[in-house]
Each structure stands twice: as structure tokens, then as C-alpha cells.
Amino acid sequence: MRLSGIPSFLIVSLCLAGCSSTSGMEALDIQKPSSETTSSVVRPSAPIASAPMARASKAPSKTQDVAEAEPSAEIDRPFGLAEEETVAFAAPALTDSAEPQVEPAALVSPPKLLSRAAPAMLAGPLTRYGFRDAKPINFGKSSPRHLAVHGVDVSRWQGNVNWEKLRGQGANFAYIKATDGGDHLDPMFMKNWRNAEAAGLKRGAYHFFYWCRTAGEQADWFIRNVPKMDGALPPVIDVEWNGESSCKRRPSREKVLEKMQVFMDKLERHYGQRPIIYTAPDFYRDNLRGEFLDYSFWVRAVAQHPSKVYPGRKWLFWQYSGSGLSHGVTGRIDLNVFHGDERQWRNFAGGRQTVADAN
């Protein structure tokens, strides 16, 4: 009978439909995004090279590196990087047992010149020093005022910066806080980044390193949020012990050096520039003496010349005050100086050298 063939046809059709449906679900499952996350931000399945616009409205995560309140709650907070010459620690060290393993890395990389910046991106004529200081220090013959090229570093704590006035006061360069750890973006970063350049300052970005996050994810977060642009100063890794951090871990010296190297190698590959190391006296004493000899250092020394605080160390930038005063900001601002004359500055800003010779 012809009718007896219909049930068989229906059974075969249903089986084929079931197989097709299963294949479609498997295909969808293969393309699911990565489930890896940071504390507050879902990470993409592939790295993002840069973000042209910052999400200024993003709230700090519960695990952000430095305990920060809104500027209105602490108007006189003066510093953008390290806050004290010596930091007291609030809790004993934790072990690294819970931290994901990081692949071992060499602690010293061969010297590498920075990529040559486009001439049009170089800063214009230098402006001369015109800052005042709420707590001036007499450095004697070693006064930073005798050096030709001065600059500032800023973060959200400086509020809305008038970059035109800041440049007129004597700022020729600025380092701008970009990121903390693996999920915190300074809400003023992109505004400061754009406006500093518009005012004619050479600008660079810095990252506050967080010892409770892997180096790789911190590098990815910085790369995601800091544009890769011709003419920018080399990126900076800010390494210090900070008693206000929600992370109380103090890794061993060997672990510190390993994590720093992983982070810096990743940034150097992306930006084509060797990162600069910012540090403070206590962290330097514990971890960095005799290390990273082919890297440029930016050192904090607010009471004595760097030669006294970091004997034998060549340095490129010196943060000599956390109590600077300028018409461009309300409150205090960090003051810095480049170690060299105007010719050396233009060579460095154009990418032809990496480290200024120490006196």
C-alpha cells in the first residue's frame, strides 16, 4: 500500500532534523565568548589594541588597587604617584600561593632604542620654570630648577586641569595616570590625554601596578585603554608599596622582578617603546637595587637629591616635589624634571635615546 510508506518517511525526516539541530547548537557553542573575567569587567576573547574614548562614568571596582574616594571628600590630596617617602604597611605579607602562575621571564632585556617619533609631534619651544612650592626644599647646587625641562604628573585628584595655564607656568611634559591593576581606569585619563597634547605638552601614560593581579592581565588592561600614538612618551610602570591598597600582598623580590618583566615586555612589544620604571625609596631598596640596568628610571626624592637616595642609579626623571602650586590646578601637584639639557630632551622626545647619563 502507498500509505504504508508515509510513516517511514516521517520517521526519517524527524531523525534528519534532529541531527541538523544538534550540529547547529555545537557551532553556536564553539563561538561563545571567553568566560575569563576581571573583578568588574568582562574581558574580550581577544585583546583590544586601544580604546579611543575612555568610559569616564565607570565606577571603581571593589578590588581596585588604591582606596580612592571622590575628590570632594579629600580636596587636599596632593600626590599623583607615591604619597610618602616611606610607607608603613598595615598588614603582614600574604603568600603567592593563590596567585595564577606566571611563566618565568628573563630579568634583563637587551637595550632597545625607542621608535622615532614624527617631527610634527614634538613639543614646541620650552617654557621656563615658573612653579611655586608649598613646601620648598633647598637642594643647594643640585636644585632641579637648574635643569631645563620641567613637567608634572596628574590623576583624577587634580580635577579639571587648565593645561594652557599649566604649560605657561613651566610644564613641558606631563605623565597622566591611566590605569590601576586589571580593571580600574582613571576617569579623567582621556580628557587629560587630549587636552595636554592640545596645549603643546609632551604626554605619556602611567599604570599603577597591583601585586594581587597577574602581570599579563594588567598589561592587557593598559593596552586596551591607552592609545598607541606617535609622539607619546614611553609608558610608565609605577611600582611601590602602598599602605592604602586593598592588596596587602608583598611578593618576594624574585617574584616582583618577574612580574615587572612580564608586564614591561608586553608593553614594549605593543607600543614599540621600552617602559620607564617609576619607584619610591623603600620599594627600590627592597627590590630594585642593581636590577633593570638597561631601563630608564623615574625616581621620587622629595627631601634629597636622587644621588643620595638612589646611589649609583642613573635616572631619567626626578619627582622632586608633591606640593607644587600652579595656576592650572586647584590644590597641589607633583613636580618633575628631566635629566638633561634641551638638546638631550629633544633627542629623547624624538626617540633617539633611552637613558640620560647621571651626574
Instruction: Report the catalytic residues.
Output: 240
| Cα dihedral 122→202→283→329 (10° resolution) | 170
Angstrom distance (rounded) from CA 231 to CA 234:
9
DSSP string spanning 314-358?
Answer: --SEEEEEEEEE-TTSSSEEEEEEESS-HHHHHHHHTTS-S-PPP
Angstrom distance (rounded) from CA 38 to CA 3:
62
Cell triple for residue 142?
643640585
- Cβ-contact 308, 142 below 8 angstroms: no
Which of 197, 187, 122 shows the shortest CA–CA distance to 164? 197
Give rounded-to-5 percent helix, strand, coil for the chain: 30, 15, 55
Which of 193, 161, 188 shows the shortest CA–CA distance to 175? 193
> In terms of C-beta density within 10 A (0-12 exposed, 13-18 middle, 19 or more buried), how is residue 325 classed?
middle
- Cβ-contact 267, 235 below 8 angstroms: yes
Which residue in the block uniquely carries the three cell numbers 590605569?
179
DSSP string spanning 22-87?
Answer: HHHHHHHHHTPPP--B-SSSBPPSS-----SS--TTPPPPTT-SB----GGGSTT---SS---SS-
From first CA to last CA, the distance across the chain in angstroms is 105
